[in-house]
Amino acid sequence: MNLVQTLRDLNDRHRAALPARDRADFEDELDRLRMVRLVEEGLGLGDHLPDFSLSDGAGRLWTSQELLDGGPLVLALFRGGWCPYCDLTMAALEEARPAIEALGAQAIGIMPERVEHVAATVERRGIGYLMLSDPANGFARTCGLAYDLSPAHIRIHRDRGRDFPALHGDTHWRLPVPAVFVVAPDARVAFAFADVDPACWPDPEALLTALQALLDTHALSNR
């Protein structure tokens, strides 16, 4: 899958199909998030991944330290199972999973929906990597990568039957910024990508290249 082009094509179709008011409100929301420099102030290259303790769809609790003890992580923040852009990126990460695992790393997905919705998304998409529930975007907020929706953006989602406070176990209308990181076993972020536009995501090949570079650096340091 050429993920970058596939997302671009979906975005072109999606925006063309939107009513003029919705399209303008969506563009205004992206402009607002760019102006507050949400991505630039969030978790980035060279930072250390914040600790977390999150449950998978079966209710099993996982900690960041437990996962990092097993090796590097490719960790992705998804908006949710309702998001068509996330559907494509989840599928691309699953497609890349064997190559990620062959490099001694583990793919992890994190989404703000409650455990039962996480389980349903994993089953529907046939996801073989670990998907964790981040209630109320607690972990995403710790990373500086969650935001409150504007009233106009809330209206767009309400019109489509989405109730994020109910889905997320939250009292606020919040979403995470779509993001993906390659994290070394010492929790250092060796690759970081985030964009407020859900149609933007790196090709999985970039993640594999970052993983290989991380392994090469480790091998050199052990000589």
Distance CA 199, CA 84 (A): 9
Domain of 141 in residue numbering reads as 3-221
Which letter does DSSP use for residue 72 in this model?
Answer: -
Indicate which CATH number applies to the domain containing 90.
3.40.30.10
Distance CA 49, CA 140 (A): 11
Distance CA 138, CA 134 (A): 6
% residues pLDDT > 90 (the chain)? 86
What are the pLDDT digits (tens) for 29-60? Answer: 999 999 999 999 999 999 999 999 999 999 99
Q: Is 118 helix (H, G, I), strand (E, B) or coil?
A: helix
Inform me whether the pLDDT recorded for 219 exceeds 60: no
Number of domains present in the structure of the chain = 1
So what's the pLDDT on residue 222?
Answer: 56
Distance CA 52, CA 29 (A): 29
CA 187 to chain centre: 17
So what's the pLDDT on residue 152?
Answer: 93
So what's the pLDDT on residue 220?
Answer: 47
